[in-house]
């Protein structure tokens, strides 16, 4: 059996699709809180696979989706590990301390200093990655 053949209106189908798409994510979060993370990931992956094939997608489509997910995950991990590596280099060379002292002079509020540091470092990392990867910073430039 490939999917449901119920006469439902488009709004109901869209709501059901969103619910079913969120189901593995919600299940992953709930099981991570109640059980081990390994079990939660396994159950969420199996539920995703069952829903994928229930809606009539083929094996090639499923494997292609897994490959795209893997590449996207590696891309995100490169950003996270690159940021952590750069932070460690900045910390070992004393640049984090210099930035901290500069921010102390900027504003007395710790919350505002944290916000400014987070925004500036995020802008730096994203801008640096855009230059390295040679991608436009916005979709309007592509």
pLDDT on residue 1: 46
Please state, in angstroms and as integers, the Cα–Cα distance from residue 5 to each residue in 32, 51, 95, 104, following that order.
Answer: 34, 15, 62, 64
Tokens found for residue 9: 């209106």
pLDDT at 131 exceeding the cut of 80 = no
Tokens found for residue 68: 């795209």
- Measured in whole angstroms, the distance separating CA 33 from the mean position of its chain's CA atoms is 19
SS3 83: helix
pLDDT on residue 62: 83
Residue whose C-alpha is closest to residue 132's, from 79, 95, 91: 79
pLDDT at 74 exceeding the cut of 80 = yes
Task: Summarize the confidence of residues 53-82 as an average pLDDT.
Answer: 86
The full set of domain ranges for the chain reads 8-57
Nearest-angstrom CA–CA distance, 91 and 12: 53
pLDDT at 127 exceeding the cut of 60 = yes
Task: Summarize the confidence of residues 50-54 as an average pLDDT.
Answer: 81
pTM: 0.49
- Residue position matching structure tokens 């500036």: 120
Q: Which of 3-7, 32-36, 113-117, 118-122 is predicted least confidently?
A: 3-7
């Amino acid at each position: 059996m490939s999917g449901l053949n119920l006469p439902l209106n488009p709004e109901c189908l869209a709501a059901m699709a969103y619910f079913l798409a969120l189901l593995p994510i919600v299940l992953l979060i709930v099981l991570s809180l109640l059980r081990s993370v390994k079990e939660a990931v396994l159950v969420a992956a199996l539920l995703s696979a069952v829903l994928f094939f229930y809606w009539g997608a083929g094996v090639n489509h499923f494997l292609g989706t897994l490959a795209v997910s893997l590449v996207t995950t590696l891309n995100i991990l490169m950003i996270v590990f690159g940021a952590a590596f750069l932070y460690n280099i900045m910390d070992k060379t004393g640049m984090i301390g210099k930035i901290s002292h500069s921010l102390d002079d900027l504003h007395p509020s710790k919350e505002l200093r944290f916000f400014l540091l987070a925004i500036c470092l995020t802008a730096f990392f994203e801008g640096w990655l855009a230059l390295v990867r040679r991608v436009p910073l916005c979709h309007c430039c592509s």
